Structure 1
Amino acid sequence: MASAHRRHNAMDRIKVNGEWLVEEQEVREGVVNSFQQLLTEDMGWQADIGSIPVGCISLQEAKSLETPFAENEIHSALMEMNGDKAPGPDGFTVAFWQDAWDFAKEEIMEMFKEFHEHSSFVKSLNNTFLVLIPKKSGAENLGDFRPISLVGGLYKLLAKVLANRLKKVIGKVVSIAQNAFEKGRQILDASLIANEVIDSWQKRKEKGLICKLDIEKAYDSINWKFLMKVLQKMGFGPKWMGWMWSCVSSAKFSILVNGVPAGFFPSTRGLRQGDPLSPYLFVMGMEVLDVLIRRAVEGGYLSGCNIRGGSRTSLNISHLFFADDTIVFCEASKEQVSHLSWILFWFEAASGLRINLAKSEIIPIGDVEDILELAAELGGRVGSLPSHYLGLPLGVPNRATSMWDGVEERIRRRLALWKRQYISKGGRITLIKSTLASLPIYKLSIFRMPKSVAKRVEKTQRDFLWGGGNLEGKWIWRFACEKNNFWNQVITTKYGQEDYGWRPKKVRGAAGVGVWKEIMKESDWCWENLAFIDGKGSKIKFWKDRWCTDIPLSQCFNQLFVLAVHRDATIEEMWDQDSGQGDWKLVFVRDFNDWEMDMVGELLHTLRGYRPSLEDDSVVWRQGRNGIFKIKEAYRLLDKPNVTVFPARRIWVDRVPTKVCFFAWEATWGKVLTLDRLQLRGVHLPNCCFLCGCEEENVNHILLHCIVTRALWDIIFGLIDVKWVLPETVKETLISWRGSFVGKKRKKI
């Protein structure tokens, strides 16, 4: 298998700068020279970013980044790392250092102490292998390969510790328009916002432009001095900046060509894909472009798109970033495209990041007559909707089935490969669960699959075997919890919110291309499985929300709720702080009858121990152990069993081989090919049990009631000291397998 992969990925020839290199030595030299040139800084004019206002961390936060490294901090970072990643030039994987921690921790701590005091380490630790991964099948040009850095284990540990510190403060300096590498932000957020922007433009019948920009060799071409200026403006201290400079500038590279290192050279620009620090440094560099676009919007040079809902509030969205994937929204005018072009030119002069015009495109919204002229002004090509952004559909009507064609085609391609082989039913189930079922998950995280598509996918899987609502629900959970995220602000502005901001309002009007209306179809079941933890109580309804019981008090004590005066009051409003140590203000429209007093007492008993505090109200997921929404738990909730009792949990057991589970499943349904079923299929054989020779063979006889089988059952029952009469069928046996004898002895057997 390894030899086959090596032959498949062999670089026998390569096209560099339009010229084919065939000889082995030519290929090695050509690849090395190209990357050496790519990672060498151009000595040209560099724009000054001194007047650009970026976010800044506090002096206290800057000092906290420079504190001495603690042993538990380093060990924790080491254990977080994936030990199976390929090693760097030193040959030691992270797994080695994890296993050798007790033996090597003193030397590792000494290395960190040296780095803290002198901002340096042994230079050989930062030697790097560059491995070239094909971006597509049949890659020929050098540009068709993605360079991934294999750094040494100890340097990766150092960078991981620094990255863990950096990500604690990066939210202070990176704007909400950047959706990458910041806790609480996801790649799906940008896709959701982009589709809602297009939906707003189309429903208002306004013209606009979407500029999808691709940054050429983004990580490899960013200027180090530019990064240091950005860090300085963001308030990072001199020691931290010295650490960053040491990490990025001390690297030396060898290129792995057909598994053999070629060349050994330093670099003067760029960040390494594979270095834990690189993503965070890159998004901080992109913050300069974010500021430039925001200032252009404030000055009226770019307009963006104004999201408006039922209220008078509006929210302007001019751009979205996910690492180097950039999308800009502007007016369909030559002036605005020209201003954007100048912004990109200035940003390139400052940072070294150049827009790849061949891969960038300008997409018109509405009838834009001079679109070719606008594309020429920017330098990109003309695109159209529907398109793709971050691997997800952009501008596709959310009920269109065509967006799922790619998923269905990928499933069919996988099946075409598997059908060439003989695979048992147990093996087929394993492939369906491990591979086919996961193919649509990324798209299902934001788009609802139409029933017609779901039926086709299920039929494809069934055909292979025999011859999604839980993902959208997470958005409802996130809306209640993540109030400061950009996507939440977009949805709140466009559609509004209710219940003190815990949930969005229902979406009304035509479907369009916005995805939120479809997501809201999954809101009810998710909301029913959320509960509140009372703090101040200012955002929780006393009667109508779940906070002290599994169901709202209005349902627990319906007769009292009908009599309540303040049915929509919050917990805070129902609490009388002036009454001694505080008490509940329960006001009803009339006095209680004698038979209602027990109910009042039960209500007061329920409320005992609950009182408002100074903390904020919060929401929890009721189906999980720690109160956090989990896709797996939501799936189990939605995957309700059939009305017919079926012993699924006694058949599909994790520790039992799949083929054994599948046999038990077939036996439960009476589908095992015993002699009676073979006769039904036209096989002419006498039906006589091969074990006892007395009775006709069927699944219940051969597994339960045959005298030979009964002898085996008697042995098992004797081992666990149980007397039990076996039921008539296999299904009844599995359903009944939960008597008083079910315990440790049975589990051991």
Structure 2
Amino acid sequence: MIKLIIQPRNNPINKGYWKFNSSLLEDEVYSQAIINEIQKITKDRQFTTQRDKWEFFKFKARQISITHSKRLSKDGKQKEMEIIREINSICCKSLLSEGEKQRLSLLQTSLDNMYVSKAKGAFIRSRAKWVEEGEKSSAYFCRLEKRRQEKNAVNKLVINGRESTNTEEIKREIFQFYSGLYSSSYSSQDADCFFNYIKDLTPKVDENFKQVCEAEITLEEAEKAMRSLALDKSPGSDGLTINFYRHFWDHLKEQFLLVIKEISELNILPTTMKQGVITLIPKPGKDARLIDNLRPISLLNSDYKILTNIYASRLKTGLNQIISDTQSGFLKGRSIHNNIRLVLDLIDYNQLIEDDGFILFLDFFKAFDTVEHKFMFQTLEIFGFGPNFISFVQTIYNDTNSVVILPNGISPRFLINKGIKQGCPISPLLFITATEMLSILIKNSGFSKLSVLGEQLAITQLADDTAIFMKDSHQIPDIIQTVDFFSKASGLKLNLSKCELLPVHHSDQSVLHNIPVRTVVKYLGVHISKDSKTMEEMNLWKTLEKCKVNLNMWSQRDISILGRVFLTKLECLSRFIYPAYSLPIPKSARKAINQANFNFIWKNKTHYIKKGTIIQDYSAGGLKAIDFESLDGMIKINWLRSFLQNERNMWFHIPSNIFSHLGGIELLLKCDFDYRKLPIKLSTYHQQVLLYWKLIYKHNFSPHNTPIWNCRYVLCRNKSIFYKNWFDNGIWSLLHIMNDNGNIISFETFSSKFKLNDRKQYNNVIKAIPQTLIQMSSSLVQNVQVQLPSLLFDGRPVNSKLPNSFIRSLFVRELFPTSDKNHSMSQHYTGEEISKLRSQFIKYPIFPKYKEIHFKIMNAVYPCKELLHIRFGFPENNCSFCDTNIETLDHLFFECMYVYSFWEDFFFWCSSKFPFPISIHLQKHSILFGVVSGDNLFDLTFNTLLISGKFFIHKCRFLKNKPLFNTFFKEISLYFKSLTLMKNKNAIKLCIFIEDHKLYHNP
């Protein structure tokens, strides 16, 4: 006996606060209602302040949005029920006519489209990529959103050492914790003491930048700030998204500017701008039942974000004046990878560091949430900002409050008296002005810094992630005391239990001054160790295993090949880009990453198209899949380019010193070197950088212009040579040490000419130069001018602005030298036409599966029976339709009598609806590859229909139905309707063409 017991939920899931549904913007009735309300409120004189008028408008906008959403939802449900009733009516019949079968198919398609539309809303909320747009992903995305909500929901919490699931108890605990966390403990005495000490050490903003921040806000600034904010982001308490403001901006902008001016004059925010909504996100890999392991993210109202984004944009123009290079956070042109590489350089070249050397990694307890507001305001004053800007900052932090979203509602509202708002455009910039005070303090404190090749290294930062570099462990107490001085003033408290020490050299100590000494530390997301195998395992191989698991989850779904290519970038490659910037990637790892990706693209089955082809651009017959080796090469070359442009920067101090023994990095790159024969020992990372350089930089050999320095065939004791004193005297070419007769000058002549008297150096150089090189150069002495090679990639200067795609293409060209072997296309089309046919279909507004079938047909890898018979020995190869001829690609999609009849009806219908170019006929190559007529709109329309027709044939084959044009027309008619909902440029063009030529009418 089966017993079913139904019990109500203990903790009912809260639906959450109201959020604007962006699909309303497509409803003309709704848009007009909002515009009418804007005009009505703008003219209303009963409001005493612009803030009240603005608040009332937002209230009415919400009210109108909810009303229209209910109407649309009701209409949709009614339509859904009507379709379901008709489907049930047809399914109740024992025998169905051909017309009823077609009607049932159309009804099922309509119902699918409705569910797909619902799923798209779930997709936006889940923040997943809509890689399966057009595929039946509704169930997946709805489940994904549900899992996300359950993951982020705080259903249980450890309170006073025990786990609690009581909703009221959880709500009280969260309120008490966050109201306490955001309560100020500011000490004016400690702050004044700190600023009196540091005020003469701080830089000041210049007058121009000061006035930029002081100026009145313009309408142009407000619009630029609004448009730079991302769409489809979670809104604040008022529920209105940036989508809403962007849509109605022309009607709202004047009123919004009036509100901003009033805020500036009165220093008071509108009520809803003061309010925040906090959502709690569990920290990865931490126990989500502990409140300390929940990261608070503030969801702020969009109008507030537009306002603060204006000032954030202003700050970014001049903050470099006061934020030192040692801070890598939140400023354009600064890179987190520099912080990691500096630590790794210290480890890789520790033999060059005489000090004992320790790196102290600081951990501040909830730094973003604990910085004191008044400390930030005083920091701005110390840096020399003007009164208007400081008043604005005070305004956005004055009297603000927030609530925490919980599964069963929201917490009581609490004041925010310290901490910055994560999610606010200006707050991160304000935060690094505060942490810069720590940097100034540390740099000017008395502890012994780490001496690195003649420079003193003290501190590096990424926001609050701080590394302090010291001579030896005896400096630790002084450093802790100095940081405590900063903490008392700023509110940022050290979490000593999470601070770590990493010795530059070997250390037998496990703890120093109550701080653990580690052999492995995780710094800015990268595991750092002196053991390369440990770093590989923790940063690469473990990551790859996680990627394989994620890809395997996706492999359960029937995703198009385009979707699978995208997923390799999303789920795998994206996770290796970050470590690749800082770490050398061994060949075995590069190979394994590629193998995982390309196996996934081909569903762990036969790779029908070579990797060298599928990684090519669409126009070259590929799908823009990414070869990881090319990607890694691009990353390493970008590091090298940054090094070339910033050689004197502190981040590159160690490699700059290393390569100075070879004449500097720029000279080395101009030399025909072999890194294995260089007279210095390079780290694995720098070796890999040089290998990648050699792969794509072309040394055009000439005996007179090829430097003798660092040259792979000018060797002394099997090592290349470089003498700085010679190079400083202008000697780098063989011709510099030859006479007019083409002979090497004697030592006496050499010494007299260049004032260099080291005979040993002279003998080493002369013996190292191969005789063949001397013979080749001897005839050139009087006829040529010597010139060092230029650093160019395909004629473009290496230090110019080069897109990543261009650099990666250089690697692709070297690693995969392929030639176009698609002779069947070249027989009917020019090279330019082939490129168009290969690339333009990607932009067509059709489903990914349609594009996949077309791509496979164009590349002759569609799995027709004859292909399966030849490749894998499948016994059957008769046509799925006629069952008489062999099912080759040509036969299946063109020559079969049933298919040919379909295409005849297709061409007749097309030619009766719109004019055909004289060159277009019913020909096999036109069906298989598409048409290029010279009329872009015709090509778009006809090729879209053509690809849809081929997919229809493909579907009929698997459904074991004959391809009938009437059935196809009914399906394509539904597609025409769906086009009206698309905003794609090609979709809009198609809609106009379809309407003009009445393509939706029966044939």
In the alignment, what sits opposite 1:46?
Answer: 190
Question: Does the 8 Å contact 2:510/2:516 carry over to 1?
Answer: no
Cα distance change of structure 1 residues 621 and 347 upon mapping to structure 2, 3 Å threshold: farther
Residue 578 of structure 2 corresponds to residue 457 of structure 1:
no
1:347 counterpart letter in structure 2: F
Output the CA distance in 2 between the equivalents of 1:157 and 1:739: 46
Q: How far is 1:478 from its partner?
A: 2.4
Q: How does 1:99-110 map to 2 (within 5 A)?
A: 99-110=247-258
In the alignment, what sits opposite 1:328?
Answer: 468
- Give the match's secondary structure for 2:522: strand
Question: Does the 8 Å contact 2:327/2:463 carry over to 1?
Answer: yes
Residue 778 of structure 2 corresponds to residue 639 of structure 1:
no
2:888 counterpart letter in structure 1: N
Question: Does the 8 Å contact 2:361/2:501 carry over to 1?
Answer: yes
Gap regions ≥5 residues in structure 1: 309-313, 530-542, 546-564, 566-587, 593-599, 601-616
Output the CA distance in 2 between the equivalents of 1:623 and 1:708: 55
Q: Structure 2-normalised TM-score? A: 0.59
Given candidates 231, 256, 260, the residue that maps to 1:83 is 231
Output the CA distance in 2 between the equivalents of 1:691 and 1:20: 65
Deviation sequence 1:447-492 (CA, Å, 0-9, x none): 3422211222222234432342112221233234456754245543
Output the CA distance in 2 between the equivalents of 1:274 and 1:503: 46
Output the CA distance in 2 between the equivalents of 1:591 and 1:627: 33
Deviation sequence 1:117-154 (CA, Å, 0-9, x none): 33333243211111111113551101111011111222
In the alignment, what sits opposite 1:304?
Answer: 450
Output the CA distance in 1 between the equivalents of 2:592 and 2:161: 45
Q: How far is 1:72 from its partner?
A: 0.4
2:289 counterpart letter in structure 1: E
Q: Structure 1-normalised TM-score? A: 0.78
In the alignment, what sits opposite 2:429?
Answer: 280
Q: How does 1:518-533 map to 2 (within 5 A)?
A: 518-524=688-694
Cα distance change of structure 1 residues 26 and 623 upon mapping to structure 2, 3 Å threshold: farther
Q: How far is 1:246 from its partner?
A: 1.4
Residue 199 of structure 2 corresponds to residue 56 of structure 1:
no
Question: Does the 8 Å contact 1:188/1:446 carry over to 2?
Answer: yes
Cα distance change of structure 1 residues 702 and 280 upon mapping to structure 2, 3 Å threshold: same
Question: Does the 8 Å contact 1:198/1:514 carry over to 2?
Answer: no
Q: Identity over aligned residues, as a percent?
A: 22
Residue 892 of structure 2 corresponds to residue 702 of structure 1:
yes
Cα distance change of structure 1 residues 81 and 744 upon mapping to structure 2, 3 Å threshold: closer
Residue 236 of structure 2 corresponds to residue 93 of structure 1:
no
Output the CA distance in 1 between the equivalents of 2:347 and 2:542: 22
CA-based RMSD: 4.1
Question: Does the 8 Å contact 2:329/2:336 carry over to 1?
Answer: yes
Deviation sequence 1:398-425 (CA, Å, 0-9, x none): 6874341122111122134234555565
Given candidates 895, 906, 918, the residue that maps to 1:721 is 918
Output the CA distance in 2 between the equivalents of 1:333 and 1:694: 86
Given candidates 338, 357, 362, the residue that maps to 1:208 is 357
Question: Does the 8 Å contact 1:215/1:354 carry over to 2?
Answer: yes
Q: How does 1:591-740 map to 2 (within 5 A)?
A: 628-640=801-813, 642-646=817-821, 650-651=837-838, 653-655=841-843, 657-667=847-857, 670-680=860-870, 681=872, 683-685=874-876, 687-689=877-879, 695-703=885-893, 705-706=895-896, 719-722=916-919
Question: Does the 8 Å contact 1:92/1:152 carry over to 2?
Answer: yes
Q: How far is 1:524 from its partner?
A: 4.3
Cα distance change of structure 1 residues 646 and 273 upon mapping to structure 2, 3 Å threshold: farther
Cα distance change of structure 1 residues 683 and 474 upon mapping to structure 2, 3 Å threshold: closer
Output the CA distance in 2 between the equivalents of 1:444 and 1:46: 44
Cα distance change of structure 1 residues 191 and 504 upon mapping to structure 2, 3 Å threshold: farther
Which has the larger displacement, 194-203 or 403-412? 194-203
In the alignment, what sits opposite 2:725?
Answer: none
Residue 643 of structure 2 corresponds to residue 479 of structure 1:
yes
Which has the larger displacement, 197-206 or 279-288? 197-206
Q: How far is 1:244 from its partner?
A: 1.3
1:633 counterpart letter in structure 2: F
Deviation sequence 1:37-82 (CA, Å, 0-9, x none): 1111225562522121112112342223111111101111111011
Output the CA distance in 1 between the equivalents of 2:562 and 2:796: 31
Output the CA distance in 2 between the equivalents of 1:127 and 1:354: 26
In the alignment, what sits opposite 2:273?
Answer: 125
Given candidates 525, 533, 556, the residue that maps to 1:391 is 525
Deviation sequence 1:84-113 (CA, Å, 0-9, x none): 221111221122122221111122111221
Output the CA distance in 2 between the equivalents of 1:654 and 1:729: 17
Q: How far is 1:361 from its partner?
A: 0.8
Cα distance change of structure 1 residues 280 and 113 upon mapping to structure 2, 3 Å threshold: same
Residue 659 of structure 2 corresponds to residue 495 of structure 1:
yes
Count of residue pairs the alignment pairs up: 657
Deviation sequence 1:546-590 (CA, Å, 0-9, x none): xxxxxxxxxxxxxxxxxxx9xxxxxxxxxxxxxxxxxxxxxx987
Cα distance change of structure 1 residues 744 and 30 upon mapping to structure 2, 3 Å threshold: closer
Cα distance change of structure 1 residues 416 and 244 upon mapping to structure 2, 3 Å threshold: same
Output the CA distance in 2 between the equivalents of 1:591 and 1:651: 51
Given candidates 447, 469, 494, the residue that maps to 1:355 is 494
Cα distance change of structure 1 residues 450 and 720 upon mapping to structure 2, 3 Å threshold: farther
1:158 counterpart letter in structure 2: L
Query: Which structure shows the bigger proportion of residues in helix conformation?
Result: 2
In the alignment, what sits opposite 1:539?
Answer: none
Output the CA distance in 1 between the equivalents of 2:559 and 2:253: 49
Q: How far is 1:229 from its partner?
A: 2.0
RCO higher in 1 or 2 (8 Å CA, sep ≥ 6)? 1
Residue 574 of structure 2 corresponds to residue 435 of structure 1:
no
In the alignment, what sits opposite 2:613?
Answer: none
Output the CA distance in 1 between the equivalents of 2:580 and 2:557: 30
Cα distance change of structure 1 residues 450 and 668 upon mapping to structure 2, 3 Å threshold: farther
Cα distance change of structure 1 residues 690 and 347 upon mapping to structure 2, 3 Å threshold: closer
- Give the match's secondary structure for 1:639: helix
Q: How does 1:143-542 map to 2 (within 5 A)?
A: 143-204=292-353, 207-258=356-407, 260-296=409-445, 299=446, 301-306=447-452, 308=453, 314-334=454-474, 336-372=475-511, 374=512, 377=513, 379-385=514-520, 387-395=521-529, 401-402=536-537, 403-421=539-557, 427-464=563-600, 465-467=603-605, 468=631, 469-482=633-646, 485-496=649-660, 508=678, 515-524=685-694
Question: Does the 8 Å contact 1:476/1:526 carry over to 2?
Answer: no
Question: Does the 8 Å contact 2:547/2:571 carry over to 1?
Answer: no
Q: How far is 1:496 from its partner?
A: 3.2
